[in-house]
Amino acid sequence: MRRASVSIASNIAEGKARSSRKDFRQFVTIAIGSNWELQTQLALAKRFNYANEIMILETETVCHEVARMLNGLSAYLLKPARIS
């Protein structure tokens, strides 16, 4: 779970450092996949009683918020860049 959660932030940072919006969006897509991976691991932890259910529910709530933000960022990066 730690590796998946660190991967979310790391992919956003690496994508931002790339030279194009297309590359950035690709890394955001990878971050979305890492968020799904974390949610899957949380579901398994709940199923096998590996963690406190309240902690799992709070973490799932954060994952859902992160998913909304990543999906919004991904949609934004699909739009043509405005030249200032």
> Which amino acid is present at 35?
N
DSSP 13-74: HHHHTSSSHHHHHHHHHHHHHHHHHHHHHHHHHHHTT-S-HHHHHHHHHHHHHHHHHHHHHH
Along the 84 residues of the chain, how does pLDDT read in single tens digits? 999 999 999 999 999 999 899 999 999 999 999 999 999 999 999 999 999 999 999 999 999 999 999 999 999 999 988 876
**2-78: CATH class:** mainly alpha
Q: How is the chain split into domains, by residue range? A: 2-78
Torsion of CA 78, 8, 20, 22, to 10 degrees: -40
